[in-house]
Amino acid sequence: MDIRMTPLEVARALQSAMERGLMGSEDTSLIIYDLDRLRSRLQEARQAFPEGTLHAVAVKANPLPAVLRRLADEHPCIGAEAASLPELELALGAGFGPERILFDSPAKTHAELRLALERGIVLNADNFQELERMAGLLGGASIGAAKLHGGIGLRVNPQVGAGAIATTSVAGQYSKFGVPVSECRDEILAAFERYSWLTGLHSHVGSQGCSLEQLCAGVRTLLDLAEEINSRLPERIRLLDIGGGLPATYRDSEPKSSLMDYAQALRQRCPELWSGRYRIATEFGRAIHANAAFAAARVEYVKTQAGVVTAVTHLGADMFLRKCYNPGDWHHDVLAVDGSGQIKAGEAVVQTIAGPLCFQGDLPARDVSLPLLEQGDAVCFRDVGAYTLSMWSRYNSRQMPAVLGMTRSEEGPRFTILRARESVEQVLRFWE
């Protein structure tokens, strides 16, 4: 199975869904999630990393309960990385036990820390002040040390440099996350001396735009620190949480980096990960989800103005927030299909795909070459499994599309509804 859904796979899946009446006349857009592909990514993660590694998938990349439940059911080694109270509840509700949940928010309140500690969720502290708060809570009567199943770690910034996308790079000299290793080495060591319950180290280098070398350098820095702490305080560091950040492939011309390639590169630079001395955790989001879904949006009108052909469709910055606001950094390939889901043939014409929202920047694809779109066609956006629906914007109060899950069988594709199309009432309730 290719990492990405090919254009033909996308079109066939859409056609099948349409044939079964799953894209009704009121469905101006639809998302289809390839659950077999999701599964194969999870299996790849398990094969690539040392046995027993906890793969805590970032909830923010895709918080759909129906998807989270599949992750939870897949294998006990699959977990969830949460960064807010609702994300914690989503993970617990999907069936992840507390020892499979990592809680990483940089702004945890007293109440959130208490709840996470009481439930035995694995925590990563972002800074020394948070450690102090935890020490206060752990000294209290309600939380015994026995509750610390998974343990508590400290997030450090390995300062290995920013990646290609500034807004998702968190390992430059400055970052809003974690304790910078080069400036605070002594304080970090002192914190481990002081708090005997501190047994983990965590880092995350960035999201998309980080090279394998950068990611490996971040893990190397984390590992060096762990070895130093363990040389002073034998066997203190037990959990090494190496974060996520493996880029997903959004263009065929990009080099495809797989979880296998990343693990292979880590084996070279960081063989200690395979020594059995540490429990490893990862926090991949994008690499697990991105390539497993596509979205289809119906074309409502096509107009030519000032020499620009604009196809007005039903998905824009509500779903593609990053791409619309920052088109230089983010990309989704698009595909033109007709009203029955067939790939459109014909001479390519340069066109702009506009969304339905009331601002000029609502252009999810600019100057793309596609067969001329017409009313009733649809545009398919590829690789939308991560950081698209999860960043849904309420601007103009449009309804979130239905999300279908697809699996393959001998009789052809099977679909389930992962999330029904949002009703007008649900949108109204959101604003109440």
- Element containing residue 125 per DSSP (H, E): strand 122-125
Report how far apart, in Å, the C-alpha atoms of 170 and of each of 104, 163, 173, 287, 354 are.
14, 9, 9, 17, 32
- Element containing residue 321 per DSSP (H, E): helix 321-325
275 close to 263: Cβ distance less than 8 angstroms:
no
Judged by beta carbon, residue 10 or residue 171, the one nearer ligand PLP is 171
Q: What is the closest distance, in whole angstroms, from the C-beta atom of residue 231 to ligand PLP in the complex?
A: 27
Give the footprint of ligand PLP on this chain (CB under 6 A).
Answer: 58, 60-61, 81, 104, 204, 207, 243-246, 283-287
Active site residue 358: yes
Judged by beta carbon, residue 286 or residue 382, the one nearer ligand PLP is 286
Judged by beta carbon, residue 156 or residue 246, the one nearer ligand PLP is 246
Judged by beta carbon, residue 45 or residue 92, the one nearer ligand PLP is 45
Q: What is the closest distance, in whole angstroms, from the C-beta atom of residue 253 to ligand PLP in the complex?
A: 21
The catalytic residue among 77, 210, 324, 358 is 358
Q: For 84, what's the count of Cα atoms within 13 Å in the CB-facing half-sphere? A: 6
Q: What is the closest distance, in whole angstroms, from the C-beta atom of residue 385 to ligand PLP in the complex?
A: 11
Transcribe 230-298 into DSSP letters: HHHSTT---EEE----PPPP-STTSPP--HHHHHHHHHHH-GGGGSSSSEEEE--SHHHHGGGEEEEEE
Q: What is the closest distance, in whole angstroms, from the C-beta atom of residue 12 to ligand PLP in the complex?
A: 28
Judged by beta carbon, residue 283 or residue 362, the one nearer ligand PLP is 283
147 close to 99: Cβ distance less than 8 angstroms:
no
Closest by CA to 246, choosing from 257, 254, 238, is: 257
Q: What is the closest distance, in whole angstroms, from the C-beta atom of residue 204 to ligand PLP in the complex?
A: 4
Catalytic residue numbers read: 358
